[in-house]
Each structure stands twice: as C-alpha cells, then as structure tokens.
Structure 1
Amino acid sequence: MTTDRKQIFDQIKKLMEKYEPPFIARSDFDSRYELWSEKEIEIDGRKRKEVYFAGLIIQSNYVGFYFMPVYTDSSLKNVFEPELLSTLKGKSCFHIKKLDKKLLSQIKKSLETGFKLYKKRGWI
C-alpha cells in the first residue's frame, strides 16, 4: 500500500492513459491530468464541443480522482465497490489517500465502465 501522493497519481494516470486516444489529455502535468472527448455531441438538447471524462490532481493530503461518467448516469455508483465508494466526496470526486491493488483494480473497473457508457452514447 502506498500513501505517497506522487506514486498514487502516477499509478492511476497509467490506467487513464490507456484511453488516450480516443480521449485527449488536455492537462498533462506532474500534478494534474485530464481526459476529454473533443467530439461535437448533444446532451439533454444542448450542443457541446467536448465532454469531460476523468481527471487527477494532487492536493495537499490526497489525490483527487474526478470521474464524470457518474454525473451522466447516477446508477454507476452501484458498480463502485465499498473501498472505492468510501473515498467518494461529493458526487464525482474521490479522495485517494492510500492506494493498494484492490483499490487500483476498482478504479480500473470504473474507468472501463465509464468508457463503455461514453462509447454507447456516442460521446467518443
């Protein structure tokens, strides 16, 4: 188990990079990483030129993992296992303070599920 924020960031980033492409890394820095779909789409009748997928940011005492698919389909919370769900603060931000193989596996599964949802909706 690691509590080093940079190691946590790097391990989760490695999982996220597998989705690039089709997603575009808009921010790709040592402490911030964001994936976006830059496809023109329509969500609830509103045209958009982009949609946010997921991001990471190193904060003072945790790594923030932002997972936007949960905003578009709240039933996704049902796929989160207890360990990952316990780090959820608010609607879509997970505060990761400790990372082990089990939690990393749950983040990987969430990314896969979110990717399938975006693909199914034609957002990527």
Structure 2
Amino acid sequence: MKDKNKTPKLMKIFKKLKKILEPYEASLRLKFDLKEKYELWTDKEVKIAGKNKKEIFFAGVTIQKNYVSFYFMPIYVEPELKQKLDPELLKLLKGKSCFHIKSIDQELENKINDALQKGYKLYQDNEFI
C-alpha cells in the first residue's frame, strides 16, 4: 500500500493493534516490524496434520486499503476456539482467520486482548511455544 493511501485513522488502528501484540514478542519471534505490517511467529519445530513445521504464525496486523487486517492463526489451527471468542469480535471475522478492523475503541481492544490470551494458551497447551 502506498503511503498516500494510508489514512491517519488506519495508522492509529494499526499502532493500537501492534501495541496489543508487542507483549508477546518476549516468547514469540518478531518476523515483520514494518510501517504497515507486523507479525509474530513461533520458533519451535512442531508437527501439525502430519507435517513438520519449523515455525507457526501466531498473529499479525497489516494495513489494507480501507481497513486493518488482524490475522489470528489460533482460530485457523483450532476452529473450536471461535466458540470462546466474543460474538461482537466474530462479526469482524472475514475468512478463516482474518478480522477486518475499521475502527477501534477500548471495548474492542479488550476483546482482542482476550482472544490473544486464549490463542496463546492454546499454543502453549499444544506445545507450539
């Protein structure tokens, strides 16, 4: 995305989501920390669906044209986790693991924080971390 298309509103959302994710850097690997893209991955080699994986995506944010994508891989790894997430947050889910965030307030930040905690615990329980 070109800088001229990035609205201050989207940049603000991106920065808030990034700030929510930053505490997880301590136990996950920061793969991208760019102006418009931020991603956290595991560093532990694991076997998923019979395939060895050297790393697994955990979560990230990317600025798109009209929204900020919040990618949350734990609900892709274990779709049942969606049942434990707030219904209002799930309304923003487009596809299997991507939430389209067009605005953010403290309530949504709290719901995303809750989802991240549950996803992190899922990764711990499955020994991905």
For the superposition of Structure 1 and Structure 2, which TM-score range results when normalised by the shorter chain?
over 0.9
The residue that corresponds to 2:44 in the other structure is 39
Q: Does 1:97 align with 2:102?
A: yes
Q: Secondary structure at the match of 2:82?
A: helix
The residue that corresponds to 1:76 in the other structure is 81
The residue that corresponds to 2:23 in the other structure is 18
What TM-score comes out, normalization by structure 1 length? 0.94
Q: Does 1:87 align with 2:87?
A: no
Question: Between the two proteins, what is the percent identity of the paired residues?
Answer: 47
Q: Secondary structure at the match of 2:89?
A: helix
Q: Does 1:123 align with 2:124?
A: no
Matched to 1:119, the amino acid is Q
Pick aligned residue for 1:106 from 80, 102, 111: 111
More relative contact order, 1 or 2 (CA 8 Å, 6+ apart): 1
Output the CA distance in 2 between the equivalents of 1:119 and 1:64.
24
Structure 1: gaps (5+ residues): none
**Structure 1 outlier segments of 4+, above 3 Å:** none
Matched to 1:24, the amino acid is R
What TM-score comes out, normalization by structure 2 length? 0.91
Output the CA distance in 1 between the equivalents of 2:127 and 2:84.
21
Offset of 1:82 from its aligned partner?
2.3
Output the CA distance in 2 between the equivalents of 1:79 and 1:97.
23
Residues 82-119 of structure 1 deviation map (CA, whole Å, 9 limit, x = unaligned): 22111111111000001011111000000000000001
Matched to 1:32, the amino acid is K
Offset of 1:78 from its aligned partner?
1.0
Offset of 1:38 from its aligned partner?
1.4
Q: Secondary structure at the match of 1:18?
A: helix
